[in-house]
Each structure stands twice: as structure tokens, then as C-alpha cells.
Amino acid sequence: MVAGVLLEKQVVVVCPNPGVVSAAVLSLVPMIHPFQWQSLLLPILPARMLDFLDAPVPFIVGIQHKPVELKMKTSNLVQVNVLKDQAEAASQFLNVMRCYLESICSDLRSHTITSVQSDNDRVCLLLKDSFIDSFPNRDRPFIKLLVDTQTFTVLSDSHLSSFENGYC
């Protein structure tokens, strides 16, 4: 589920209890910190608006009842039935995951090139292939998809901007 959010998939969380489904949806945003969700987030999608699930954009949506016609129409759709999966939030796991997510961008500096313009303006560029190759082989397919997301771009641009301004 978290990987689906990081890769900007269409995530549908299903649970008949409105409190549980909205809490599950809203908990996904802080789970991906330091990344920031850049797309649609609807804690509970009303049943009369289920056509929204056909939208070609990333989203995190909670629904109370899975419609019969909801099929895996696209590889971008991730369905999570809270009652069946019985997902529990373990604080130790979340701490490990947060450290891993923060470490993904911690070494961006060594995968950048900086160009200094005639007016002393600096421009930093991320060498994506070098960055991807810095990860173990088993992680590269995920990282390769991650670097192409808007979520990653926003965070890496923020890091690159601080490099350009001489803060790091």
C-alpha cells in the first residue's frame, strides 16, 4: 500500500466503517514523509461518485463498499480491503520505514552536477542513472519507478535548490 502511494498509483482503501477507512487513507500521507503527496486525496468517496475511480490520475481514496464492477482495469490500481488484510501499524516498522525513506534522498549531493553561470548563478542537475545505480540490485526496479514520480521530483528539487544556494 505504501509502495503504491510512493509510486503514485491509484490506491483504493475499502472498509465499511467510515472512521476506519478515513483514518487509513489519511494515515498514508504522513507515512511517506519526507515525501509529500502531490495528487488527489479523498478520505471517503461517496457511493454516487464511484465513476471517479476511472480517472487517469493518481489518487488515494476510501470507499465503504467495494462495487461489484470494480476490477483491476489498470496496473495503476491498488486495492486494500482493511478488514481482510487486517493491517496493523507497528511503530517500530514505521520508524524503520521513515529512516529508509529519508535515506533515499540523503545522498543526492554525490549524484549531482553543478554548473556555474557567468553571473555566478548555480544550477544543479540530478544524474538519475548514477543515483539509481547507487542502490543494491534488488532495490533498483523500485527506485527507477520512484525517481519518475512527481513526489520524488518535488523532494529532490527542494534538495537541489538548497545545493544551488550553497546550504549543503
Domain for residue 48, yes or no? yes
pLDDT, one tens digit per residue, over 110-129 is 898 877 666 777 788 889 99
Domain for residue 101, yes or no? no
79 and 116 co-located in one domain:
no
Q: How is the beta sheet containing 10-14 ordered, strand by strand?
A: 40-42, 59-63, 10-14, 77-81
87 and 111 co-located in one domain:
no
- Contact at 8 Å (CB) between 28 and 95? no
pLDDT, one tens digit per residue, over 4-53 is 888 888 899 999 999 999 999 999 999 888 889 999 999 999 988 888 88
44 and 65 co-located in one domain:
yes
154 and 88 co-located in one domain:
no
The residue with cell 527542494 is 158
First to last CA, the chain: 33
Domain for residue 100, yes or no? no
- The number of domains in the chain is 2
Parent domain of 118: 107-164
